[in-house]
């Protein structure tokens, strides 16, 4: 399964003034550094929680044999959430539209194939994300990004603590959004 993401907005997934307040730093003095750290924290959250913070097009490409292996019965759980608009999802089978399926939206999006599953090269595309700006990102996620940014900011230059993982708040919130696989 190959998953690619294409951003649909150039907005930052945070407000740099909010990040600076959370880090107790003067925005003017540390704006560039805080921005880099906040982008890093946002990317960490997206990877951990398997979410798109801001709208992006997600393309999932796989062969039909891999599709069958990835499915639970006739359901394929999509790798990136949230999916808020089922109308943005398309499935192609060797380049041709494939339509006998139902879509479940939300934080745990999935496709339920009806009588048949697509064969050959299957490409599933959809729009994932909370919205077009940081204001659409849930407050707990925004706070987790701020907290992780503060942890990165506070440990910069300290080789004893640098690279020791996530802030506890980031780990807890990411776990809340991540899909658990059995």
Query: Is the pTM higher than 0.95?
Result: no
- Give the mean model confidence (pLDDT) for residues 123-151: 96
Mean pLDDT of the chain: 89
Q: Crossing angle, helix 168-177 and helix 27-49, to 10 degrees?
A: 40
* Segment among 53-67, 76-90, 130-144, 163-177 with least mean pLDDT: 163-177
148 burial class (0-12, 13-18, 19+ CB within 10 angstroms)?
buried
Portion of the chain with pLDDT greater than 90, in percent: 65
Residue 153 has pLDDT above 70, yes or no: yes
* Segment among 116-130, 140-154, 168-182 with least mean pLDDT: 168-182
* pLDDT tens figures, 77-130: 999 999 999 999 999 999 999 988 999 999 999 999 887 888 889 999 999 999
Residue 155 has pLDDT above 80, yes or no: no
């Amino acid at each position: 399964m190959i998953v690619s993401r294409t951003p649909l907005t150039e907005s930052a997934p945070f407000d740099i003034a909010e990040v600076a307040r959370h880090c107790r730093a003067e925005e003017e003095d540390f704006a560039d550094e805080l921005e880099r750290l906040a982008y890093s924290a946002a990317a960490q959250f997206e990877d951990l929680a398997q979410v798109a913070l801001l709208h992006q097009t997600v393309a999932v490409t796989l062969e039909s044999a891999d599709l069958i292996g990835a499915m639970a019965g006739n359901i394929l759980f999509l790798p990136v959430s949230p999916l808020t608009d089922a109308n943005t999802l398309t499935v192609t089978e060797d380049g041709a539209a494939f339509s006998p399926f139902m879509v479940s939206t939300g934080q745990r999006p999935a496709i339920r194939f009806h009588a048949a599953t697509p064969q050959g090269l299957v490409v599933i595309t959809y729009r994932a994300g909370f919205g077009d700006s940081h204001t659409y990102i849930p407050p707990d996620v925004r706070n987790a990004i701020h907290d992780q940014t503060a942890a990165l900011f506070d440990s910069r230059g300290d080789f004893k603590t640098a690279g020791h993982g996530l802030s506890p708040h980031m780990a807890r919130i990411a776990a809340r959004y991540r899909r658990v696989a059995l």
